[in-house]
Amino acid sequence: MNPEFLFLAVVFFVAGIVPELIGFGVASILMATIPFVIPVPVAIPLVAIMSTIATGIVALQTKTRETIEHVAPLLIGSILGVVLGMFFLEAIINGHVVRMFLAIFLMSYSLFGMLLKHHIWPTGKIAGAFTGLAGGFFGASFNIHGPLVGLYSSSNGKLSKAQTKNLIATYMFFTGLFTVVGHTASNRITNDVLMYGLLGLPFILLGLAVGNKIFGRISAVWIKRGIYFVVFFAGVTLLLL
């Protein structure tokens, strides 16, 4: 068996499991791994497509009544964020500095949340809009928007583990759609992107099925720990990009 195919199959499978547990993580895992075998200009739109498909399925399966109330401010902010991120991706002005700043922030806050068990991230509507703005910007430019929303949602002690997952997945799906449209308008969806997408999709779907079975067996505490771990992992990924 082709080693590259086996590597991609395993990575896509693992990337499919994670969003069924915490609502995001596809981009964090794929952007940390597939650039070893796929060129970055192909990987960025590919990951956006895979993340959108996976989180759309998760959001549809886990939908709750409170979703719209919590996700609306995030989506409003993310629309502007995606537009700004697309312009930034074209210009790449001080991209290294921005990545380093975001990476250090994500790693620091995730460690803070895991070790001190105390949250300072605000969860009101205004905070949601600003979180969505930042998430849309970093999602369009670096495929990293889930971690910020993960921090936002995990800081809301009123949400159950299903509500937390659904809030994140719903936001990720709609923001992912905005991002994919942006990549399409910028002619980044090439034949190579579609080919790798068809290759990875069955393994993403298999991972989602496995993750769905696992979700019901783990507690909300472990869900939040998982969110912080993936956020930390995303920060490390940004340092290595």
Per-residue pLDDT reduced to its tens digit, 56-89: 999 887 666 666 777 777 778 877 887 777 776 6
Tens of pLDDT along 21-61? 888 888 888 888 888 899 888 988 999 999 999 999 998 87
Confidence band (pLDDT; 50, 70, 90) for 156? low
pTM of structure: 0.79
Average pLDDT over the chain reads 81
First to last CA, the chain: 29
Torsion sign (Cα): 46, 52, 55, 61 = negative
Q: Quick one: pLDDT at residue 73?
A: 79
CA dist 24 and 200 (Å) reads: 17
Q: 188 exposed, middle or buried (CB, 10 Å; 0-12, 13-18, 19+)?
A: middle
**What's the pLDDT score for residue 237?**
76
- Which secondary structure element, helix H or strand E, spans residue 93, and what is its range? none
